[in-house]
Structure 1
Amino acid sequence: MGLYSGKENVVLPNEQDLGAAANVVVRLCKSIKHNENYCVFFDNCYSTIPLVAYLAQQGILSIGTVRRNRIVDCTLLTKKEFKNEERGYCMLEYMKE
């Protein structure tokens, strides 16, 4: 695994451009074996839905916190509502069909 130490936005040949931060994660994940249950963790500077979807397509699990302004057309609880929930609360409404 590598370390990120720059501002460059590198898009590898035949890769989607997922944005500067997400492209860093994609580039660093190149050495991870696909479909081997590896999980990548990243913070809200790197988390986007397209990145998580891309990694899932590549057979790489991922977990990250997300900023409210990076989720298009998704209604989240307000900070006040969220604080009223018990510790460990998880909102799984998106899984209902």
Structure 2
Amino acid sequence: MPKNTPKRDFKVWALACSNSGYLLKFFVYEGKSNTDEIGTLGERVVKEISNTYQDKGYCLFFDNYFSTVPLIQELLERKFFTCARFRSDRKYSPADLLKDVKKMKFGDSKYAMAGDVSFTVWKDRGTKPVMIVSTMHNPSSTTTVKTGPNQQNKLGQKEDICRMSDCRSRLE
């Protein structure tokens, strides 16, 4: 019965290595805790699951459920580089970056920076643009690449698109 939502479900938070695919750490969400920690659930999950790897200059990638600007800044202080999708309705979202996004065409991008945190809006094939927040990329440096093998225009040709190319140097 695919339309019936389950009355019980599990949330499993996991940290995996992007090179090997190995599961490094995980835990099962057990509901609200009695601690007085501040921040969203996503912020607390990222902090807890990454705490044993801090001060080593690792790169963390996560989804927009977890990404907030205070978390990104705190992770940078703990010597983590981050890259995540970012919801445009979140606090500290750059409003002027989101102007005229409806006029963007496939492959167009715009960016803004605030200190070490960069925001990039990129128009993908869908109707809504994708927003990325990062402390590891320099959005002003781009490279032109061809679209993937399954992404061709109406004439069957690959098109040129821009992508971020430079990564910041690792923390020492």
Name the TM-score, length of structure 1 as normaliser. Answer: 0.71
Residue 20 (1) aligns with residue 41 (2):
yes
Gaps of 5+ in 1: none
Contact conserved, 2:54 with 2:78, CA < 8 A, in 1? Answer: no
Tell me which moved more, 42-51 or 67-76.
67-76
Aligned to 2:60: 40
Contact conserved, 1:47 with 1:64, CA < 8 A, in 2? Answer: yes
Any residues of structure 2 matched to 1:52-67 within 5 Å, and which? 52-67=72-87
CA distance in 2, matches of 1:2, 1:88: 37
CA distance in 1, matches of 2:52, 2:91: 28
Q: Which has the higher strand share?
A: 2
Distance 1:73 1:6, change over 3 A: closer
DSSP 3-state at the match of 1:92: strand
CA distance in 2, matches of 1:40, 1:2: 13
Q: CA RMSD in A?
A: 2.8
CA distance in 2, matches of 1:67, 1:5: 25
TM-aligned CA deviation for residue 12 of structure 1: 7.6
Residue 80 (1) aligns with residue 102 (2):
yes
Identity of aligned residues (%): 20
DSSP 3-state at the match of 1:91: strand
TM-aligned CA deviation for residue 74 of structure 1: 2.4
1:53-94 CA distances to partner (integer Å, 9 max, x unpaired)?
Answer: 01011111111000011133621324413x33x626240254
Runs of 4 or more consecutive aligned structure 1 residues displaced over 4 Å after TM superposition: 9-13
DSSP 3-state at the match of 1:47: coil
Return the letter of the residue paired with 1:89.
S
Q: Which has the higher contact order (CA 8 A, sep 6+)?
A: 1
